[in-house]
Chains A and B, each alone.
Chain A
Amino acid sequence: MALFSPWRADFPALAVLEAQGQTYLDSAATAQKPQALIDALSGYYTCGAANVHRAQHQPAERATRAYEDARIKVARWLHAACPTEIVFTRGATEALNLLAYGLEHLIEAGDEIVISALEHHANLLPWQQLAKRRAAKVQVLPIDASGRIDLAAATGLIGPRTRLLAVSQLSNVLGCWQPLDQLLHLAKAQGALTVVDGAQGVVHGRHDMTTLGCDFYVLSSHKLYGPDGVGALYGRGESLLQLRHWQFGGEMVRVADYQSAEFHAAPLGFEAGTPPISGVIGLGATLDYLADLDTTAIGRHEQALHDLLLAGLAERSGIRLLGSPQVALASFVVEGVHHSDLGHLLTEQGIAVRSGNHCAMPLMNHLGLDGATRVSLGLYNDQSDLQRFFDALDQALALLR
């Protein structure tokens, strides 16, 4: 029996895209949005926008309450100990930059910042540039053929000079879960701070901050079916105290005169200026929507789709997967076919997939590739989407080979 997503109808864009002849298989780049989010954004703007944490008037009170409710919802989603452990940012990238500046004072010349070979530019460049500013060193954990960080190598590379470990939970290119428990354990044994880039991981499965045990966890709203322009940083209570303030402006300050100022603690001290209010409220509504769904059923559906994707790719000759993807996505190259040519012909046929380096140039160089094609799934995808992709793939390859 063909696989249908029972949640597809909750995402109006899917029907619109389908009517336009577009098959959306690029959810790892950004996800489509549920009606619940669209209603929340529309409701906020229709019923009266107001700034948060400032004025006493009623619209402001309503906006502030909705904004702070969203913080509670994110905290609950991540099973954080307390809502004050959640800082809203303008994206996952900004959250990682916040960390790279906020923790800069803890990094000294000769210290080591450990990342992995598969990091997205967003979890590489902030650390690379921090290392440059402080004359520190970036250590890169190698990955094995399946795309997992090599634990034996990590045991050797995470050492007494390691001040910080920053790794992805789920690779945006290789689609495999990383051995976080072991890596975090290795880092903590050396007294290092730990940062987990959950931009992809948070979309596929629920994760519990109290048991994960990292100091910081970063997520992006727009990949989690929420609005863009919003990210969240989870910081363990005592870890947040290590952060120095980095952006300065309205509402993050306690007292100010012309020459000096004192700042709020997290979270407000790290939310300078007017935050993305509508986006945060929208993220809250998205989490409400997601929380009402059957997590097990979603996991099963996504896994069944992923199995079909891998099986279809395996059936076709000359296709090589990057790593051994476990969930959500698969990246591949085709022997004798340039990824740009394939991308071009898939686009011509209305297949929305990604072709290129996927914001992970060092990983691509490491794999000896200049690019790959990535198919990524959302909970709203059906088997018919994959069928259309495979039909288009066959047509494209027939032309190119």
Chain B
Amino acid sequence: MNDLPEAAWTALTAFAQAPGWEQRARLLMQWGERLEPLDDGERSEANRVAGCESQVWLVGERQNGRWHFRAASDARLIRGLLAVLLVRVNGLDANELTRVDMADWFASLGLSRQLSPSRSNGMNAVLQRMRELTG
């Protein structure tokens, strides 16, 4: 975990201090407010991630070999999940991205259930789309 991006450390520290579901939900909603916005054009069908119960859009750009993703959703807790996902991956190169253990990351935040296969919140679909964009 030593190679964590700085924003990811911040998330980890914050969620470590939120043991209960209510605190975690509050934190997620706060983090969700920090997502970089997508403009209307970017909220397009092409950027929409299929397989999510809420609407989720994901765009990824590569700058100097490093990936930078932005995402949006119409659901607040999904926005929070997207935010803590993006702080873990933004700024990494394609090689580093493939090495990120997302299940481990969500588990360390106390959010492992959000990645379970029965969840239709679409986090797995978002990860799949990231792999397609960067693959």
**When the two chains form their complex, are residues A371 and B25 in contact, meaning their CB atoms are under 8 A apart?**
no
Bitwise interface map of A from 89 to 132 toward B, beta carbon under 8 Å scored 1, else 0:
00000000000000000000000000000000000000000000
**Chain B residues closer than 8 Å to A349, beta-carbon distance:** 21
Q: Is B96 part of the binding interface, using a Cβ–Cβ cutoff of 8 Å?
A: no
**When the two chains form their complex, are residues A340 and B25 in contact, meaning their CB atoms are under 8 A apart?**
no
**When the two chains form their complex, are residues B22 and A340 in contact, meaning their CB atoms are under 8 A apart?**
no
Q: Measured between alpha carbons, how far is A343 from B25 in the docked complex, in Å?
A: 12
Q: Which residue of A lies closest to B52 (CB)?
A: A340
Q: Which residue of B lies closest to A355 (CB)?
A: B53
Partner of B21, one of A339, A343, A348, A355: A348
Bitwise interface map of B from 73 to 109 toward A, beta carbon under 8 Å scored 1, else 0:
0111110000000000000000000000000000000
CB distance from A96 to the nearest CB of B (A): 24
Q: Measured between alpha carbons, how far is A356 from B25 in the docked complex, in Å?
A: 20
Q: Measured between alpha carbons, how far is A349 from B55 in the docked complex, in Å?
A: 24
CB distance from A387 to the nearest CB of B (A): 19
Partner of B76, one of A341, A356, A357, A371: A341
Bitwise interface map of A from 339 to 352 toward B, beta carbon under 8 Å scored 1, else 0:
11101110011000
**When the two chains form their complex, are residues B120 and A399 in contact, meaning their CB atoms are under 8 A apart?**
no
**When the two chains form their complex, are residues B76 and A338 in contact, meaning their CB atoms are under 8 A apart?**
yes
Interface residues of A, dominant DSSP: helix
**Chain A residues closer than 8 Å to B26, beta-carbon distance:** 399
CB distance from B113 to the nearest CB of A (A): 8
Q: Is B54 part of the binding interface, using a Cβ–Cβ cutoff of 8 Å?
A: yes
A:365-383 near B, CB below 8 Å: 370-371
**When the two chains form their complex, are residues A344 and B77 in contact, meaning their CB atoms are under 8 A apart?**
yes
**Chain A residues closer than 8 Å to B25, beta-carbon distance:** 344-345, 348, 399
Partner of A400, one of B24, B53, B76: B76
B:15-44 near A, CB below 8 Å: 21-22, 24-26, 29
**When the two chains form their complex, are residues B22 and A371 in contact, meaning their CB atoms are under 8 A apart?**
no
**When the two chains form their complex, are residues B22 and A356 in contact, meaning their CB atoms are under 8 A apart?**
no
Q: Is A395 part of the binding interface, using a Cβ–Cβ cutoff of 8 Å?
A: yes
**When the two chains form their complex, are residues B22 and A338 in contact, meaning their CB atoms are under 8 A apart?**
no
Q: Measured between alpha carbons, how far is A344 from B55 in the docked complex, in Å?
A: 15
Most chain A beta carbons < 10 A, residue from B24, B74, B75, B121? B75
A-B contact count (CB 8 A): 41
**When the two chains form their complex, are residues A395 and B75 in contact, meaning their CB atoms are under 8 A apart?**
no
**When the two chains form their complex, are residues A395 and B78 in contact, meaning their CB atoms are under 8 A apart?**
no
Partner of B54, one of A340, A399, A400: A340
**When the two chains form their complex, are residues B53 and A340 in contact, meaning their CB atoms are under 8 A apart?**
yes
Partner of A371, one of B24, B53, B77, B78: B53
**When the two chains form their complex, are residues A338 and B120 in contact, meaning their CB atoms are under 8 A apart?**
no
Indicate whether A338 sits within 8 Å of B54 (C-beta atoms), given known contacts A344-B121, A356-B120, A399-B26. yes
**Chain B residues closer than 8 Å to A400, beta-carbon distance:** 76
**Chain A residues closer than 8 Å to B74, beta-carbon distance:** 338
**When the two chains form their complex, are residues B21 and A356 in contact, meaning their CB atoms are under 8 A apart?**
no
**When the two chains form their complex, are residues B55 and A370 in contact, meaning their CB atoms are under 8 A apart?**
yes
Given A338-B54, A371-B53: 14 more A-B contacts, CB < 8 Å: A338-B75, A340-B53, A340-B54, A340-B75, A344-B25, A344-B77, A345-B21, A348-B21, A349-B21, A356-B53, A357-B53, A371-B54, A395-B22, A399-B22
29 contacts between A and B (CB under 8 A): A338-B54, A338-B75, A338-B76, A340-B54, A340-B75, A340-B77, A340-B121, A341-B75, A341-B76, A341-B77, A341-B78, A344-B25, A344-B75, A344-B77, A344-B121, A345-B21, A345-B77, A348-B21, A348-B24, A348-B25, A349-B21, A355-B53, A356-B53, A356-B120, A357-B53, A371-B53, A399-B25, A399-B26, A400-B76
Question: Which 3 pairs, one residue from A and one from B, show the smallest C-beta to C-beta distance?
Answer: A348-B21, A340-B75, A338-B75
